[in-house]
Amino acid sequence: MKKLILAIILVIGGAAGGFWATTDDDMKALVSSLPTDANVLFWNTAQRDAAFRTLDRIPILAKSNIIESGDDVFALPKGPAIKIGTNVDAYMKAQRTAGLVIVHDGKIRFEKYGLGFSGDGKWTSFSVAKSFTSTLVGAAIKDGHIKSIEDKVSAYIPDLKGSAYDDVTIRQLLTMTSGVKWNEDYADPKSDVALFNQHKAKDGMDVTVSYMRTLPREAPAGTKWVYKTGETNLIGVLVSSATGKKLSDYLTEKVWVPFGMEQDATWLLGATGHEISGCCVQASVRDFARFGQFMLGGAIVNGKSILPYDWIAAATTKQAGIGDPGKGYGFQWWTYDDGSYAAQGIFGQGIFIDPKRKLVIASNSNWPKATDDTVGEQREAFYRAVQAAVDAETAPVAPPKQAS
């Protein structure tokens, strides 16, 4: 999994009393200590522990829009505890997990919290938001706002005309195969991620569009996969332009209220007031799990799917190779060749979905580093352990042997 940084520079200098009224003294001290002119990758572990549950409540850090919940909540009844063949407490400690919810066949089979977090709180998503954004593309197609993913992006974002994105399709944005050059190396101060965060938008232009339209082409469109957070931000602009709605309002309308999320969520805003669509949805772990259930159930709300009939199948299967055997990239979803798929964000955020086993695993964490192969492999091993536990429960029981 590639890295993602907040699409804004996080400048901390103090905050309003209303924020601190909901925060204990220890958290106040930790958040107040966040370094000036720095980004999340440079915060220490304790600072991230404090901030990841409060990003939408630090006014000087970033503004946010509310994703409203409704009156009717999608039920997640408790089921019997699942017997996983691993030490879950040790796993959560190693992952620095704030919340872990396992839903099997529509029932919560495991739910536990750490780091002083609880089911009543909200934790930031980082790149898990990418999968929310791509789902809104499908909704916009179903609603007739977007004709086809084969349409050119510049047809919906006119400020991209004449740039390298002029001949890029929506499909190529969704699969990150635009062929436009992008550097997401956070060790390089001249990378696009670093420069993107410092970019000043041209008057009247969205900051994402203003920067992305300056990028050169490195490969023919559709021929090369490169992970580009900036392109997911473009997808968000595209959806808002096509629908005439804020992403937060469209997510409220299409998913949050009709499907029955239990809490309001929030979506952080970039410098020019648009939701940071590649990042930063704050929601409860149970509502992240509900989004997994939403996908697992065919995106059905009020008896009808909000997505085109073939959308989920295409979105959640390999559309582009990523150089990792058995895995791939769909429409802003990470895919596995066994039919499962996942939304993933740095520092250990994730929604794992296994349609074959009717299984959803939602987790939020604060890994010691943004990306780490060791803890990433440990998480995938945990997914496999849960899959094995489900298989063990559902395996047919052999009949007793007959006496000879």
CA atoms within 13 A on the CB side of 156: 27
Q: Is residue 92 part of a domain?
A: no
Q: Is residue 372 part of a domain?
A: yes
Mean pLDDT score of the chain? 89
What are the pLDDT digits (tens) for 228-276? Answer: 999 999 999 999 999 999 999 999 999 999 999 999 999 999 889 999 9
User: DSSP assignment of 51-80, as one string?
Assistant: HTTTGGG-TTT--EEEE---SSPPP--B-P
Q: Is residue 268 part of a domain?
A: yes
**Beta-bridge partner residues of 349:** 345
Instruction: Tell me if residue 275 falls in helix, strand or coil.
Output: strand
Identify the CA nearest to 86 among candidates 336, 298, 392: 392
Gap between the Cα atoms of 69 and 39, Å rounded = 30
In 10-162, the DSSP E strands lie at 64-67, 97-104, 107-113, 123-124
Is the separation of the CB atoms in 83 and 389 below 8 Å?
Answer: yes
Q: Is residue 25 part of a domain?
A: yes
In 120-264, the DSSP E strands lie at 123-124
What are the pLDDT digits (tens) for 184-231? Answer: 875 577 888 777 767 788 878 899 999 999 999 999 999 999 999 999
Gap between the Cα atoms of 306 and 141, Å rounded = 9
What are the pLDDT digits (tens) for 54-78? Answer: 988 876 667 899 999 999 999 999 9
CATH of the domain at 318: 3.40.710.10
Gap between the Cα atoms of 137 and 299, Å rounded = 13
Output the pLDDT for position 31.
63
Q: Show the low-confidence residues of the chain (pLDDT under 70).
A: 1-39, 59-61, 186-187, 197, 397-404
Q: Is residue 308 part of a domain?
A: yes
Q: Is residue 375 part of a domain?
A: yes
Question: Could you tell me how many residues make up the chain?
Answer: 404
Tell if the pTM clears 0.85, that is, is over it: yes
Gap between the Cα atoms of 205 and 223, Å rounded = 29
CA atoms within 13 A on the CB side of 44: 7
Q: Count of domains in the chain?
A: 1
Output the pLDDT for position 38.
56
Joined tokens for residue 238: 């595209």
Identify the CA nearest to 152 among candidates 138, 136, 173, 137: 173
Q: How far apart are the first and last CA of the chain?
A: 57
Is the separation of the CB atoms in 258 and 302 below 8 Å?
Answer: yes
Q: Is residue 316 part of a domain?
A: yes
| Count of beta carbons in the 10 Å neighbourhood of residue 342 | 23
Q: Sheet harboring 349-354: ordered strands across?
A: 107-113, 97-104, 359-365, 349-354, 341-345, 334-336, 327-329
Range of the domain at 23: 17-75+97-393
Q: Is residue 12 part of a domain?
A: no
